Amino acid sequence: MSHYIVLVKQVPDVTQITDNAFDPETGNLMRGKLPSVINELDAQALAFAEHMRQLDGTAGGKVIALTMGPPMAEDVLRYSLARGADEAVLLTDRSLGGADTWATANPLAYAVRKIVREMLGGADDYYVVSGMQSVDGDTAQVPAQLAEEMGLPCVAYATGVAKGSERAEFTRIISGGSQKVSPRALPAVVTVAKYEETLFAGFAATRWARQKEIIRWSADDVRPTAVGVKGSKTRVIRVFPPAKTQRKCKHVASVGEFVQLLRESLKKASAVEGANGDVATDYVLPRKRGSVMDRSFEGTSKEIASFEDLVGQLKALNIESAGAVDDEAKEKIIAASRNGAKLNQAMLDDMLKGLEAVEPSYRGDVWVVAEHDNGQVHASTFELLGKARHLADSLEVKVGVVLAGQSVAGMAGSLIAGGADNVYVIEHPLLAEFDPSAMRKSIAEVIGRHWPQIVLFAATPQGRVIAPMISYRLGCGLTADCTSLDIRDSSRKGEIAVLMQTRPALGGNVMATICTKDSKCQMATARPGVFKRLPADESRKGEIIKEEVELTEDDLSLDVIETERGTGDVNFEAEIIISGGKGLASKSNYEDILNQLTSTVAEHLDCSVERGASRAAVEQGFVERVHQVGQTGTAVGPKVYLAMAISGAIQHMIGVSNSEAIFAINNDPNAPIFKQCDYYLVGNIEEIVPELTKQLGAN
């Protein structure tokens, strides 16, 4: 008999975002305008836990829902109680507000401990089950950090569960496939990536849930070690609306031209990089600038302007260094400051102090944690290397790569060619399979020996598990899924040459720039495809450094039962997604056309490709629902989205709006999709496809 503590979170309903949810002045999303709902993946986690309880079969297993949030988060607990949960705990306290993932995972871990002590009689046969990530934060960090805090095995990205001989066996997503694993011991943390059969509220259960008492704990009740803003390891510098893309809506007359444009779009570097349009120039260290008072590398243009003003005034007063400003000069400067940027004494002091700061706040190299399978380094690692090289050059430090596995030294050469100066190789037989516990222990240990100033991970199923664990273990802040990484100053805070980490949040509806604080090292993950790899340079020189780590069987947390690569799992991270609509008329037609196109593209265009479908096509049974693209399916953002015989209903187009280029083919010249795509061909699909395949296949 096992128990299940389900972590649930209340989030704004991002599916309800309309134009009037955005502030007309700033363009920022007004969160208060959105209704609050349970995070969808947490609803799935609750169903997953209930399913585990049923599989277990023995009576007495409890499901306990736990959330941390404002008092209104009670709603998600009632939601859970109406769907099978037996008890509900609300961790709520003003002091806990404003927390980042670090200061969220920590109090939650203490709450789990208290639940186990007081409600489960100290039992250790329990699972902490949670959605893989929340739709507002999108970081996927809290469950893994909670596992780290509690020292528990973490089964991340679970999609299924079966009864095992001793403990439950989970199916989880790994890069390029899936794997069956079982935790070697309980308790364990499980994060759910997809479990579609969410529970329905019962009528009787809803009425029961309404009168059921919810257990409320404050911060003092659980006594966490990290609390709220103060306990956080990151801070938000600014929030801004994402750049809106304009579709070209260009009618293309010939298949040849269509294919040409498609090839060009695929080759284009991701437009996402540099989405932080506010500042774009390469960073220069203060001591290399014409004047040490040159502050044109601040994080925001507003800040750059403020310093420019100040320096201008100092110049006008013939003051050469910030230290030479006396009280009289200060008064003059304050008096002269403009209404829009009115200074006060404290602000001026901060700025003057900032002007004196010239040494970088962090020391050490820029590192990348490598990911690999089957003796091959992942493309995402090379992309990070490209970025790391760039960052390291402007900081005048070296690029290091950590490469951990059973026998991996052979891959070091390709990393040096890809831009690394040092490759830190960790080899150990127990690292043969990806076990998050053993992996995070080894890598954290090596990071702790050298203390780089920046560590980058790929935001892949692997990276998104070990990055939170490693950062938590080392006491460092972490920003997930960055789309832009820049070195900038935050002079007012006395910070020089820090990593500004820009990432989308709230389902891509806002962008946030984040800085690390109170940490020895700045850590971030970035999505594959965001940064550009450098051309491999075999003549580059670098050093391969062997690192020894001690691992025993006890460091393993999971038994790997079976690994499957390249199964039917859908890879919507592919560079090109080709979708078919109802206009393809039949399942066999859909299959014929999609097979032809995807195999040709994969073979000749050297890129990853996946097939998608409109809702109508799925409902006609042309393809399984996992392939459904759109608001109710999966929202995708490939480099190229090719829509075949899809009319372009709003619901579909919302789900592809993040695509860099949208191509469409339809026989109806009035198809709405033509007004929402970049390039389109009008014509009969059956007639166009043979020519299209031929042209795509031509080298």
Partner 1 sequence: MAKLAGFNKVEVLVVGAGPAGLAAAITIKKRQPEIGVCVIDKAEHAGNHNLSGAVIEPGPLHALLDMALGQWQESERAQDVLGHVVEKDKVLMFLGKKLAFSMMPSIQMARLFRLGFGKMVHKGDYSVSISKLTAWLSDIAKEVGVEVLHGFAAADIIMNGDGSDAIATGVKLVDQGRGHDGKAQANFMEGEVINAEVIILAEGCDGLVTERFVEEAKLTRETAQLYSVGVKEMIAVSDEQYEKFGSNRCVHAMGYPLWTPLRGPGMFGGGIMYTHKKNHITVGMIVGADWKYHDFNPQDALARFKEHSYVKRYIEGGEVVEAGAKMIPEGGYRAVPRDPATNYIGKNNVIIVGDAAGFVDMLRIKGLHNAISSGMTAGMAVAAHFSFPEEIAMRYTRMLEESRVHRDMRAARNFRQTVAKFGNSLGFPLSVAANWLPKFNIEPDYETMTKASYRFKREKAFDKDAFTAAARVEHREEQPGHIKIIDPEICYNICPDNYDCPCIVFCPAGVYERIHDEARPANPSNCLHCKTCQNKCPYDNIRWGVPEGGGGPRYKDM
- DSSP secondary-structure letter at 213? P
Q: How far is the CB of 251 from partner 1 (least distance, A)?
A: 19
In this structure, are residues 252 and 258 in contact, taking their beta carbons and an 8 Å threshold?
yes
63/401 with CB nearer partner 1: 63
Per rule CB under 8 A, is residue 616 in the interface with partner 1?
yes
Interface positions, 343-372, toward partner 1 (CB under 8 A): none
Q: Is 61 helix (H, G, I), strand (E, B) or coil?
A: coil
Binder of partner 1 out of 198, 245, 563, 596 (CB under 8 A): 198
Q: How far is the CB of 405 from partner 1 (least distance, A)?
A: 37
The two three-digit tokens of residue 563, written as one number: 């690994």
The two three-digit tokens of residue 599, written as one number: 């195999």
Cis upstream peptide for 452 (omega within 30°): no
- DSSP secondary-structure letter at 14? G
Q: How far is the CB of 400 from partner 1 (least distance, A)?
A: 47
Q: Report d(CA 271, CA 177) in Å as an integer.
A: 28
> Residue holding tokens 């590398």?
297
CB within 8 Å of 5: residues ≥ 6 apart: 64, 66, 112, 115, 116, 126, 127, 128, 129
The two three-digit tokens of residue 458, written as one number: 């790929």
Q: How far is the CB of 169 from partner 1 (least distance, A)?
A: 16
What are the CA-CA distances from residue 83 to residues 3, 47, 48, 192 (Å)? 16, 8, 12, 17
Q: How far is the CB of 357 from partner 1 (least distance, A)?
A: 51
Residue in 219, 240, 210 with CA at minimum distance from that of residue 82: 210
Pick the piece of the chain touching partner 1 (CB under 8 A) from 103-111, 434-442, 489-497, 616-624: 616-624
The two three-digit tokens of residue 47, written as one number: 């169903």
204/253 with CB nearer partner 1: 204
Q: How far is the CB of 424 from partner 1 (least distance, A)?
A: 46
Per rule CB under 8 A, is residue 162 in the interface with partner 1?
no
Report the DSSP pairing between strands 234-240 and 372-373: unpaired
Q: How many helices (H) and strands (E) does the chain have?
A: 19, 31
CB within 8 Å of 395: residues ≥ 6 apart: 283, 285, 360, 366, 453, 487, 497
Q: How far is the CB of 582 from partner 1 (least distance, A)?
A: 8
Per rule CB under 8 A, is residue 51 in the interface with partner 1?
yes
Per rule CB under 8 A, is residue 624 in the interface with partner 1?
no
Binder of partner 1 out of 620, 657, 658, 667 (CB under 8 A): 620
Q: 561: how many CB neighbours lie within 10 A of its CB?
A: 14
86/564 with CB nearer partner 1: 86
Binder of partner 1 out of 24, 71, 204, 566 (CB under 8 A): 204
Binder of partner 1 out of 625, 657, 682, 683 (CB under 8 A): 625
> Residue holding tokens 């437009």?
271
Q: How far is the CB of 216 from partner 1 (least distance, A)?
A: 21
Residue in 189, 265, 205 with CA at minimum distance from that of residue 4: 189
Q: How far is the CB of 672 from partner 1 (least distance, A)?
A: 7
Pick the piece of the chain touching partner 1 (CB under 8 A) from 125-133, 201-209, 366-374, 493-501: 201-209
Identify any residues that bridge with 499 across adjacent strands, giving them in sequence order: 487
Q: Report d(CA 432, CA 260) in Å as an integer.
A: 44
Helix pair 345-356, 301-316: axis angle to 10 deg: 90
Binder of partner 1 out of 118, 197, 359, 603 (CB under 8 A): 197
46/408 with CB nearer partner 1: 46
CB within 8 Å of 79: residues ≥ 6 apart: 8, 38, 43, 201
Pick the piece of the chain touching partner 1 (CB under 8 A) from 191-199, 312-320, 591-599, 604-612: 191-199
Interface positions, 629-688, toward partner 1 (CB under 8 A): 632, 647, 649-651, 670, 672
In this structure, are residues 400 and 416 in contact, taking their beta carbons and an 8 Å threshold?
no
Terminal-to-terminal C-alpha distance of the chain:
61
367/590 with CB nearer partner 1: 590
Binder of partner 1 out of 615, 639, 680, 692 (CB under 8 A): 615
Q: How far is the CB of 200 from partner 1 (least distance, A)?
A: 4
Pick the piece of the chain touching partner 1 (CB under 8 A) from 206-214, 375-383, 512-520, 564-572: 206-214
Amino acid found at 629: V
Pick the piece of the chain touching partner 1 (CB under 8 A) from 163-171, 204-212, 300-308, 634-642: 204-212
Q: How far is the CB of 650 from partner 1 (least distance, A)?
A: 4
452/583 with CB nearer partner 1: 583
68/618 with CB nearer partner 1: 618
Pick the piece of the chain touching partner 1 (CB under 8 A) from 344-352, 437-445, 595-603, 619-627: 619-627
Provide the H-helix boundaries in 133-281: 142-150, 203-211, 219-222, 228-231, 255-267
The two three-digit tokens of residue 325, written as one number: 């400003």
239/616 with CB nearer partner 1: 616
Q: How far is the CB of 166 from partner 1 (least distance, A)?
A: 23
Per rule CB under 8 A, is residue 86 in the interface with partner 1?
yes
Q: Which residues bind partner 1 (CB under 8 A)?
A: 18, 47, 51, 86, 196-208, 210, 615-616, 619-620, 625, 632, 647, 649-651, 670, 672
